[in-house]
Structures are given as structure tokens and as C-alpha cells.
């Protein structure tokens, strides 16, 4: 282990993770549905694992078809590690002695692996940076909880709770929308469909801010983009029979087609990299649905991935978190939460 240096900052990029082969789809799903922040009910400690096994087994074949359509595995690790390398280079260029590591929630590299790397590097302080622009207990909250279960070192630790208001982040999304609109013969008439990962309505009713933050993100992007295009907000990736946020992406496409829209551009507003929800659900399945409905031109904005503007946004989040938090507020294991939404 390297000697600890108080000026070396470890930055942990949290992300969902994804199976690296078709054989990994079922165990990935099992890990997902074993998460107490995803599956919670009375006596869950007893029933969660058997239920997770049942759901994973039931859904594995359908999920595997989605992964087969995008090459047989999830590219999310590749994109996230690229983001980590680009962010580290950016922070070092800003004069910060930084090490950026990836901590996936449900597949490799897990949080424990990130912790091992941070200890080996001898970091003196830590910034937790979930790659979820909007906060939900099912995503950011789950990653923070896993961190608390595994991290036991007494180091100053900051956590960025969301960054959907960060102007550089908004700019990075607008850039991708403009790139996609440029592919239409008449960019001004294409309907913009902002699609976010759905969550159960019960989560929102229990105080989760996710829906409000998604709605605000959409408004900020539309305002910054200054487009006159019609736009809608919808949700995707529903699992199970309970009530989830609506309308669905499919229902939205059906409504747009019924209204006579023939040009549609989908903006995955809750995702920062391309993976099965974008490449599979939107660019493959939703594209086919749109074609069957008579929509002639369909586009999806490319994931932010390693967009220079997006990497600048992440660096801004880290630097502001460090600069704006007095040392006395983040000593020891207690996490200081920051919503990085600078003007």
C-alpha cells in the first residue's frame, strides 16, 4: 500500500454496471433484485433472495435478447472507465492530484474493488460522484448505502448527490440534441421525446425527488436549447406489475403517431452513457415500434459518454465539492452531501 497523502483525492464514479457476457445476464439481474433499495417489503430479509432468484430466472431470457441485439454484453463498463480516465486527466490538468476509480453496483468492478484501489493509492480524501444526474434512492442512494456498508476508513469524504442543474451538464445534453436534430431534413419539426428510467410510484410517494428532478432537467435543457420543437417527457424500463411513472415511451410514440408526427428524436435524459436501455430499448426496440406506427424518421441522441463538455461538468462537480465544503464539515466517516448545481 502506498503511503497516504493528504492532498491526493480519490474520486469514485458510481454506476449501475451491466453483464459482460450473455452468461452474466442472470447473475447480474440477481444482484440487482437482491438490493434492499430495489426490493423491500415486510420480512424482506427472509424472502428477498428467493424472490430475486425467481425474477432473475424469469427475466433472463428476455433481457438476454436485448443484450444480444447490442453485441452480447453491456458496454457500460467500457464507457464508464473511459469517463474515469478522461476525468482524471482533466482534474490533473487543473492541478489536482486525483485518482478516479469505477464502482459498479451490480457487476464488476464492484465497490469493494474500488475501495481496494483507493487504499492501495493512499488517497487522503474522497469524493463520491454517482453518474446519475438526478437523485433517487434506487440509484444514487443505493450506491451510497453500499459504500457505507463497505468503507470503514476515517477519511474526509464528500458525496455529490446530483448534478442535473450544472450548466456544463445541461450544455453537454444540448450539444447531443443538436447533433441528432441535424440528421433531420427539417430539424425544427422533429418532436423531442425525453425518456427517463422509470421508478415505482410508491418510491415517489415516499418522498423521492427523482420525478421532480427529471422534470426540471427537461425544462432546463429545453430552455438552454431554445428550440421551438414540440416535446414530451416519458419513462421506460418498467419491471413488474406495480404502478410505475408514466407515460411510457411506447405510449408516447403511439400518441405522437396518432397526432401525425413523422419525425421523432428521443433524448435519454436520465442516462450519461450508452448501454442496454439506450442502445437496446430505444435505438432498437423503440425504433422498430416507431417504424410500425408510421413514423418515418427516428433518431436517438448519442450518450454523453466521453463528451469533453460532460467531462468538464464532472470535473466542475468535483472541484466545487472540494472548494465549497469547509474541512471541518467532512472529517471522518460521515458523508457530507452536496447538490452540485452551480450557476
Burial, 136: exposed, middle or buried (Cβ in 10 Å; 0-12, 13-18, 19+)? buried
Decide: 133 and 312 in contact? Cβ < 8 Å.
Answer: no
Gap between the Cα atoms of 33 and 31, Å rounded: 6
Whether the per-residue pLDDT at 343 is higher than 70: the answer is no
- Residues 111 and 185 occupy one common structural domain: no
| pTM reported for the whole predicted model | 0.93
Whether the per-residue pLDDT at 235 is higher than 70: the answer is yes
- pLDDT score at 324: 80
- Residues 83 and 146 occupy one common structural domain: yes
3-state secondary structure at position 121: helix
Whether the per-residue pLDDT at 130 is higher than 80: the answer is yes
- Residues 184 and 269 occupy one common structural domain: yes
Whether the per-residue pLDDT at 275 is higher than 60: the answer is yes
- Residues 179 and 289 occupy one common structural domain: yes
- Which CATH number belongs to the domain containing residue 117 in this structure? 3.40.50.1400
- Residues 104 and 249 occupy one common structural domain: no
- Residues 193 and 236 occupy one common structural domain: yes
- Residues 260 and 226 occupy one common structural domain: yes
Whether the per-residue pLDDT at 315 is higher than 70: the answer is yes
Structural domain boundaries, residue 265: 167-300
Decide: 125 and 49 in contact? Cβ < 8 Å.
Answer: no
- 80-113 confidence digits (pLDDT tens): 999 999 999 999 999 999 999 999 999 999 999 9
> Based on the structure, what is the number of domains in the chain?
2
Whether the per-residue pLDDT at 43 is higher than 60: the answer is yes
- Residues 127 and 203 occupy one common structural domain: no
- Residues 35 and 181 occupy one common structural domain: no
Whether the per-residue pLDDT at 296 is higher than 50: the answer is yes
- Residues 160 and 175 occupy one common structural domain: no
Decide: 209 and 339 in contact? Cβ < 8 Å.
Answer: no
User: Higher confidence at residue 269 or residue 5?
Assistant: 269
Summary mean pLDDT of the chain: 93
Angle made by CA atoms 235, 236, 240, in degrees to the nearest 5: 115
3-state secondary structure at position 196: strand
- pLDDT score at 340: 53
Gap between the Cα atoms of 164 and 169, Å rounded: 7
Gap between the Cα atoms of 282 and 236, Å rounded: 9
User: Higher confidence at residue 1 or residue 152?
Assistant: 152
**Stretch 175-187: mean pLDDT:** 98
**Stretch 30-47: mean pLDDT:** 83
- pLDDT score at 47: 84
Amino acid at each position: 500500500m502506498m503511503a497516504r497523502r493528504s492532498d491526493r483525492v480519490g474520486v469514485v464514479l458510481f454506476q449501475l454496471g451491466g453483464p459482460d457476457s450473455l452468461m452474466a445476464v442472470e447473475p447480474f439481474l440477481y444482484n440487482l433484485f437482491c438490493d434492499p433499495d430495489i426490493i423491500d417489503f415486510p420480512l424482506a430479509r427472509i424472502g428477498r433472495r428467493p424472490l430475486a432468484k425467481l425474477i432473475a430466472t424469469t427475466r433472463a431470457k428476455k433481457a438476454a435478447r436485448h443484450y444480444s441485439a447490442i453485441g452480447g454484453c453491456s458496454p457500460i463498463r467500457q464507457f464508464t472507465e473511459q469517463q474515469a480516465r478522461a476525468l482524471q486527466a482533466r482534474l490533473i490538468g487543473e492541478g489536482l492530484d486525483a485518482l478516479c476509480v469505477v464502482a459498479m453496483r451490480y457487476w464488476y468492478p464492484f465497490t469493494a474493488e474500488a475501495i481496494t484501489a483507493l487504499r492501495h493509492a493512499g488517497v487522503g480524501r474522497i469524493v463520491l460522484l454517482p453518474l446519475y444526474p438526478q437523485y433517487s434512492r434506487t440509484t444514487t442512494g443505493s450506491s451510497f448505502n453500499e459504500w457505507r456498508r463497505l468503507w470503514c476508513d476515517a477519511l474526509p469524504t464528500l458525496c455529490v448527490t446530483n448534478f442535473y442543474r450544472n450548466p456544463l451538464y445541461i450544455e453537454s445534453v444540448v450539444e447531443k440534441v443538436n447533433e441528432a436534430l441535424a440528421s433531420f431534413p427539417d430539424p425544427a419539426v422533429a418532436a423531442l421525446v425525453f425518456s427517463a428510467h422509470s421508478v415505482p410510484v410508491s418510491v415517489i410517494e415516499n418522498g423521492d425527488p427523482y420525478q421532480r428532478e427529471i422534470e426540471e432537467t427537461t425544462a432546463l435543457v429545453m430552455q438552454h436549447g431554445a428550440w421551438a420543437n414540440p416535446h414530451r417527457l416519458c419513462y421506460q424500463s418498467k419491471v413488474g406489475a406495480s404502478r410505475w411513472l408514466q407515460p411510457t415511451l411506447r405510449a408516447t410514440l403511439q400518441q405522437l403517431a396518432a397526432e401525425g408526427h413523422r419525425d421523432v428524436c428521443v433524448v435519454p435524459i436520465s442516462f450519461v452513457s450508452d448501454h442496454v436501455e439506450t442502445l437496446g430499448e430505444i435505438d432498437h426496440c423503440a425504433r422498430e415500434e416507431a417504424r410500425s406506427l408510421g413514423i418515418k424518421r427516428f433518431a436517438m441522441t448519442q450518450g454523453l459518454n466521453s463528451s469533453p463538455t460532460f467531462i468538464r461538468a464532472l470535473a466542475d462537480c468535483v472541484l466545487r465539492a472540494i472548494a465549497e465544503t469547509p474541512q471541518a464539515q467532512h472529517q471522518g466517516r460521515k458523508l457530507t452531501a452536496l447538490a452540485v448545481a452551480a450557476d
